[in-house]
Amino acid sequence: MAVAFTFPGQGSQAVGMGKDLADSFPEARRVFQEVDDALGENLSKLIWEGPEEALTLTANAQPALMAVSLAAIRALESRGFSLKDKVAYVAGHSLGEYSALAAAGFVSVGDAARLLRIRGNAMQAAVPPGEGAMAAIIGLEQADVEAACAEAAKGSVCQVANDNGGGQLVISGAKAAVELAARLCTEKGAKRALMLQVSAPFHSALMTPAAEIMRDALAEVAKVAPVVPIVSNVTVTPTSDPDEISRRLVEQVVARVRWRETVEWFGANGVTALYEIGAGKVLSGLARRINRDIATASVGSSAEVETARAALVLSDAI
């Protein structure tokens, strides 16, 4: 029975997330203090008290979600859990890769927070407001979505940004092209084509300036091989090589998040249980739609920490 830990991406944030962990575990509270110290501000107050519109800003949501995920990991570790001994792979959805890598020791919590603040600001600044867009396409084959993107681009940028599984694809690029592609997808039979309320066209070629900034930022931080291999969003293959991981994190800014393929890879390589570490249950829901043979669980509260401990630490089955 192999276990993989997954870490959520932007969109899973909610005011109050992680407060229960910080109140219940000193080790979790220290994570939030590390993040506050690294950023030179009281991000914890924003996470726990809001306002929601400030927490949702990309530059805040990214380090905030990482902080909650690492707080959950530290809480588990305080109860006798060892990532190295109990988990075969880690993976994260977009920014969640940084959470996964911090959990596995690739970078420190403080450096992860600083990198995600840089990443959030760089992604926001890469495209002027109003010039980019994203849309969720539900219930249409990937080939048809890709064809619609190609038809709509016409020398501009329009591409699949997220393959989330369960018939859900997200497209990203120049606003006019994405709007046209969404209409074309509806004409091709999509159940829904919904424009998303996002601040930038993430995971598209328009993010190239942000990718260059991340290349420089990653070169400045200390990195070591993670204690558990990470399955990359870009390649859907496991790696523990620090140089390769850094390259993939740069590529990831402009590349597709291949989440459906990631869950399928887990199923094909002996993973029987996926634990979603941090805020929300988005990845657990996606995993159930992709492969119902893989058990799922969430670890984002003190009660869920104790449930996971019973399964991962106390059980003889693992």
C-alpha 263: how far from chain center: 14
Distance CA 17, CA 10 (A): 13
Distance CA 241, CA 232 (A): 12
Phi, psi for residue 303 in degrees, rounded to 5? -65, -40
Summarize the confidence of residues 220-241 as an average pLDDT.
98
Q: Output b/e per residue, 249-264; b: 16+ Cβ within 10 A.
A: bbbbbbbbbbbbbbbb
Q: What is the pLDDT of residues 74-93, one digit of tens each?
A: 999 999 999 999 999 999 99
Q: What pLDDT score was predicted for residue 1?
A: 73
Confidence of residue 199 (pLDDT cuts 50, 70, 90): confident
| Order of strands across the sheet that contains 271-277 | 238-239, 230-231, 89-92, 2-7, 271-277, 295-299
Q: What pLDDT score was predicted for residue 316?
A: 55
Q: What pLDDT score was predicted for residue 249?
A: 98
Q: What is the pLDDT of residues 143-178, one digit of tens each?
A: 999 999 999 999 999 999 999 998 999 999 999 999
- The amino acid that residue 46 corresponds to is L
203 is catalytic: yes
Name the residue among 312, 318, 265, 314 with its Cα closest to residue 291: 265
Name the residue among 102, 103, 115 with its Cα closest to residue 250: 115
> Which residues are within 8 A (CB) of 62 and not within 5 positions of it... i.e. 6 or more apart?
10, 95, 98, 116, 117, 119, 120
Q: What pLDDT score was predicted for residue 318?
A: 42
Phi, psi for residue 186 in degrees, rounded to 5? -60, -45
**Annotated catalytic residue within 24, 69, 94, 298:** 94
> Which residues are within 8 A (CB) of 306 and not within 5 positions of it... i.e. 6 or more apart?
79
Confidence of residue 39 (pLDDT cuts 50, 70, 90): very high
Residue 315 pLDDT > 90: no
Distance CA 240, CA 197 (A): 35
232 is catalytic: no
**Annotated catalytic residue within 12, 24, 69, 203:** 203
Distance CA 217, CA 62 (A): 16
Distance CA 252, CA 244 (A): 12
Distance CA 221, CA 114 (A): 10
Q: What pLDDT score was predicted for residue 197?
A: 85
Tell me the CA distances in angstroms from 42 to 52, 62, 96, 115, one per residue in order: 15, 15, 21, 17
> With contact defined as beta carbons under 8 Å apart, do 278 and 91 qualify?
no
Query: Whole-number mean pLDDT of the chain?
Result: 96
Name the residue among 11, 93, 18 with its Cα closest to residue 57: 11
Distance CA 82, CA 68 (A): 18
Length of the chain: 318
Two tokens, residue 89? 């792979």
Secondary element (H or E) of residue 298: strand 295-299
DSSP H helices, 157-241, are 175-187, 208-219
Per DSSP, what are the bridge partners of residue 4? 89, 274
> With contact defined as beta carbons under 8 Å apart, do 72 and 102 qualify?
no
Summarize the confidence of residues 211-240 as an average pLDDT.
98
